[in-house]
Structure formats: structure tokens, C-alpha cells
Amino acid sequence: MQLKYTNKINKIRTFALSLVFIGILIMYIGIFFKTSVLLMTIFMIIGFLATMASAVVYFWIGMLSTKAVQVECPNCHKTTKVLGKVDACMYCKQPLTLDPSLEGKEFDEKYNNKKYQKQMEKQK
Ligand SMILES: [Zn+2]
């Protein structure tokens, strides 16, 4: 079965990387509007903001990484980081959980949902 879940830190990192490329691309497009200083400036600013945003996202990942729990993946035995209650292994995408009550259950992103967690608390 192909798992569609990927490790959260990896996911955010991919997002930040694509932001850099989008930012550079937007700035590059701006060069084609040499005739209009205003248009070129707008493209340059948007592109610059996108690259800046990616820097912020990278910084955010750094913060998240320090908070994430390091575990050894039971499947590939590599050290991976788990963010939230459920996450996937960075290397083999093996679903992992920090909550013993969720062990053996089917992996579901909803376990990270605050609303869902509250609902489960009520049922106890
Ligand atoms: Zn693994």
C-alpha cells in the first residue's frame, strides 16, 4: 500500500525550497518588463518577499526541529523526528506515533487535530 503521508519537517522544508525558486522565478520574470519600471519593481519586490518568506520558513523549521521528538524508526532503524502526535518516518515513510493509545491504529492525520483530540478526551 502506498502511503501518502510524508514527514512534516520534510514537507515544510520542501515548501521553503520551492518558495526560494518561486521568488527567483518572479524576479526573473520582472527582467522582461524592463520597459515599465513600476512593473519591474513590483515583480522584484514580490520575488524578494517570497525569498524572504522562505528564509522565515527555514528559521521556523529550525525551531520546530528542536521541539520535535527524536525516535528510532522501527522499520528502517534510522533516527527520525516526530512532530505532533502522529508523523511519518523521514526516510521510509513508516507511520509513527507518540501516543501509545494510537498504536496499531490506522495512520490518520486527524490525530494531530486539536478538535479531534478534545473530542477523544470527552469520550474517556
Ligand atoms: Zn523509517
**pLDDT, the chain, mean:** 88
Confidence of residue 1 (pLDDT cuts 50, 70, 90): very low
Q: Which residue has the higher pLDDT, 110 or 86?
A: 86
Residue carrying C-alpha cell 520582472: 30
Number of domains the chain contains:
2
The pLDDT, as a whole number, for residue 19 is 95
59 and 12 assigned to the same domain: yes
Domain final residue, candidates 25, 42, 67 = 67
Asked if residue 21 lies in contact with residue 43, where contact means CB atoms within 8 angstroms, the answer is: no
pLDDT by residue (tens digit) across 47-56?
999 999 999 9
- Phi/psi for 79 (5° steps) reads -80, 125
Residues 49 and 84 reside in one and the same domain:
no
Enclosing domain of residue 104 = 69-123
CA 124–ligand 1 middle distance (angstroms):
32
Ligand 1 centre from 104 Cα, in Å? Answer: 16
pLDDT given at position 89: 93
The conformation of residue 21, written as its DSSP 8-state character, comes to H
What average pLDDT score do residues 8-32 get?
A: 93
CA angle centred on 87, ends 84 and 89, rounded to 5°: 135
Centroid of ligand 1 to alpha carbon of 93 (angstroms) = 6
For residue 113, the CA-to-ligand 1 centroid distance in Å is 23
Q: Same domain for 118 and 84?
A: yes
Assess if residue 3 is contained within a domain: no
How far apart are the CA of 99 and the centre of ligand 1, in A?
A: 18
Taking the centre of ligand 1 as the mean of its atom positions, its distance from the CA of residue 1, in whole angstroms, is: 15
Question: What's the gap in Å between 29 CA and the centre of ligand 1?
Answer: 40
Residue 98 is predicted with a pLDDT of: 87
At 124 the pLDDT is 64
At 119 the pLDDT is 81
Domain shared by 74 and 102, yes or no = yes
93 Rama class: left (phi>0) / alpha (psi -120 to 50) / beta: left
pLDDT in tens, 60-109: 999 999 989 999 999 999 999 999 888 999 999 888 888 888 877 777 77
Count of CB atoms situated within 10 Å of the CB of 61: 20
Q: What is the mean pLDDT of residues 34-54?
A: 93
91 CA distance to ligand 1 centroid (A)? Answer: 5
